[in-house]
Amino acid sequence: MNMIRTAMLLAFMTALFMGVGYLVGGTGGMMIALVIAAGMNLFSYWNADKMVLRMHHAREVDERSAPELYRMVRGLAANAGLPMPRVYIIDNPQPNAFATGRNPQNAAVAATTGLLERLTPEEVAGVMAHELAHIQNRDTLTMTITATLAGAISMLGNFALFFGGGRNNNNPLGIVGVLVAMIVAPLAAMLVQMAISRTREYAADRRGAEICGQPLWLASALAKIARSARQVVNPDAERNPATAHMFIVNPLSGQNMDNLFSTHPNTENRIAALQAMARQVGAADARPRPTQGPWDGGSTAGPWGGAGGRGGPWS
């Protein structure tokens, strides 16, 4: 049902883009918008991951430059049955992370320095597992295409201010069409974008908990990230708000209500779902502690080799 709903929302997003083209330039404008939408979807398929990583100034790391984080992601990817994704670090004090890529064979995960500094190693593992779940569920392509179309609809709405509403153009609704293109269409695009993101987050939380084997690691991480995201500004996300739904927690501002205007489900609801999952599998200890994990071959040490989980993949 989630896949069907996502496909319907993407179809609506494309139709909305065409509708804005119609309001700006009539039938001709609608056909031009259709061609642009098709071209943007094709471009996004091949290049959106690179664009998003560049927007957030992510730098790729490997086993030499970030050995612990890289080995952690490799172990989690193996546990999920996924190819090894590219690994990036973003120099940003806000703890957050996202995944991108058109398919599991061409995927990337990115974590901020704030995430690596503020969270325990186990919590970082929970976050990385969540992002790998997005890759496995093929959410990353959908979310990057959605971000591209949402930004394009807003841009087209701005064009209506300068090119719509006049008597000598093809706009069938005059000034009313201009107002719809400027205000209603970008708002509708934002709502669709949010709906797609919210649809996928719960599924990624559950699958991420299965990948790392400890639902409470991710639950603890979400609580810390949500608190810090309200306090630490993410300038790159503020400049590119259309990418906000890609992060594990909204990087723009804290959301206190699980309502239509949230880019993500309410964090407390997500944590409650993970805690319920932990109870189902018998993991009743609410504190994330280093136990046997998919990266250590049965060792009781953490994924970076130190008992007690001190240090981390960034040190």
Please give the positions annotated as active site.
Answer: 131
- Rounded-to-integer distance, Cα 28 and Cα 194, Å: 30
First to last CA, the chain: 42
The residues near 216 (Cβ < 8 Å, ≥ 6 apart) are 274, 275, 278, 283, 285, 286, 287, 288
Q: Is 264 annotated as a binding residue?
A: no
Q: Is 134 annotated as a binding residue?
A: yes
Q: Is 130 annotated as a binding residue?
A: yes
Judge contact between 108 and 174, C-beta under 8 A: no
84-89: long-range pairs with CB below 8 Å, 24+? 85/109, 85/132, 85/135, 86/60, 87/60, 87/61, 87/62, 88/53, 88/58, 88/59, 88/60, 88/61, 89/58, 89/59, 89/61, 89/113, 89/116, 89/314
Residue ranges of the binding site for Zn(2+): 130, 134, 201
